[in-house]
Amino acid sequence: MELLRPSSLDEVDGGLPIHGGTEVVPLLRDGILTTDRLVDIRGVIPRGVDGRVIGAGTTLAELERDLHVPAALREACRLAASPQLRNMSSVGGNLLQSTRCWYWRLNYPCRLHGGDRCHAREGEHREHAIFANDFCASAHPSDVAAALLALNARVRTARRELPLAELYRLPDDADRAVTTLEPGELILELEVPQPQASTYLKAMDRNRFTFALVGVAAARSGEETRLALSAVAPIPWLLGSPDDLDRATPLPGTAYKVDLARPLIRRALDAVA
């Protein structure tokens, strides 16, 4: 395998992008990702916070410390992973992390891997989805994506600009991808509006270094409050209103997530009121 270190976007021509490598390296090691060409994109992806604009190469550790960053995003970063991982992890890479579903990580031939079964629906699925879980029941693990969705962030790639919500899609028979990025399309920057108040709350099995069972982000701008959830659907999930929780379709093992989400949503709304 060759490793390229381009210093300008013009030099990037195919290959598998790697930034902090906290996701790419384990997936390469386990044979879930394969490539002949690894492209270290740290030299070409903007890094740092400039007003509303956040470089996709900014680490979670940098974001959690920056008081110009809205509280929901700072909190989501602070509650993610461990300090060591947050020092390595870029926000762009975080948005594109893969599911933690163990069937997928153990390379079962499940639907997300192109097969015709969701092993989790019939098997172990305590950490899985309560919305949109018909085809694939995985739960999107990114705290950061839920915070950015509530904040109504926009994404700038090397080819286009789009609302964060449009970065994600539900997988189906025709296309198993959970993002709308085209092959080779790099995320360069995020534009994050400054709300009047925002927060991120996370229910976990233990207080540190673990993925969300449910994460709730709320952001209020004037009369409008946006609510977004992590770990409840195969993609970060925007709730139109708290009542949308009544339309959840939990699996037998994930019904508890509805009960977890309800008080978290109430607390998040109180916090931004």
Ligand X SMILES: Cc1cc2nc3c(=O)[nH]c(=O)nc-3n(C[C@H](O)[C@H](O)[C@H](O)COP(=O)(O)OP(=O)(O)OC[C@H]3O[C@@H](n4cnc5c(N)ncnc54)[C@H](O)[C@@H]3O)c2cc1C
Beta strands in the chain (DSSP E): 2-4, 16-18, 37-40, 49-50, 53-55, 154-157, 161-163, 187-191, 197-203, 214-221, 224-230, 237-239
Q: In whole angstroms, what separates CA 32 from the centre of its chain?
A: 19
The binding site for ligand X (CB under 6 A) comprises 16-24, 41, 45, 56, 80-81, 85, 88-90, 92-94, 96-97, 141-144, 186-187, 211
Triad 178, 225, 59: Cα angle to 5°: 50
CB closer to ligand SF4, 140 vs 226:
140
Contacts with 139 (C-beta within 8 Å, 6 or more apart), sequence order: 99, 100, 101, 127, 128, 129, 230, 231, 232, 233, 234
Give me the DSSP letters along 139-157: ----HHHHHHHHTT-EEEE
CB closer to ligand SF4, 111 vs 226:
111
Of 56, 101, 190, 213, the one binding ligand SF4 by CB under 6 A: 101
Contacts with 219 (C-beta within 8 Å, 6 or more apart), sequence order: 70, 72, 150, 151, 152, 195, 197, 198, 225, 226, 272
Work out what residue 80 binds among ligand X, ligand SF4, none; the CB cut-off runs from 5 to 8 Å by kind.
ligand X
Q: How far is the first Cα of the chain from the last one, in angstroms, to the nearest whole number? A: 53
Work out what residue 104 binds among ligand SF4, ligand X, none; the CB cut-off runs from 5 to 8 Å by kind.
ligand SF4
Q: Does 137 bind ligand SF4 (CB under 6 A)?
A: yes
Of 120, 188, 218, 227, the one binding ligand SF4 by CB under 6 A: 120
Work out what residue 63 binds among ligand X, ligand SF4, none; the CB cut-off runs from 5 to 8 Å by kind.
none
Q: Does 45 bind ligand SF4 (CB under 6 A)?
A: no
Of 111, 140, 154, 202, the one binding ligand SF4 by CB under 6 A: 111
Q: Does 112 bind ligand SF4 (CB under 6 A)?
A: yes
CB closer to ligand SF4, 47 vs 176:
176
Considering only 109-117, 141-149, 150-158, 216-224, which stretch makes contact with ligand SF4 by CB under 6 A? 109-117
* CA quadruple 256, 245, 96, 252: dihedral sign: positive
Q: Does 104 bind ligand SF4 (CB under 6 A)?
A: yes
Q: Does 130 bind ligand SF4 (CB under 6 A)?
A: no
Q: Does 99 bind ligand SF4 (CB under 6 A)?
A: yes
Cβ distance 143 to 230 under 8 Å? Answer: yes
Q: Which residue has the tokens 């997300």?
A: 112
Residue type, 195: P
Residue 135 CB, nearest approach to ligand SF4 (Å): 7
Residue 136 CB, nearest approach to ligand X (Å): 18
For binding to ligand SF4 (CB under 6 A), which residues are involved? Answer: 99, 101, 103-104, 110-112, 118-120, 128, 136-138
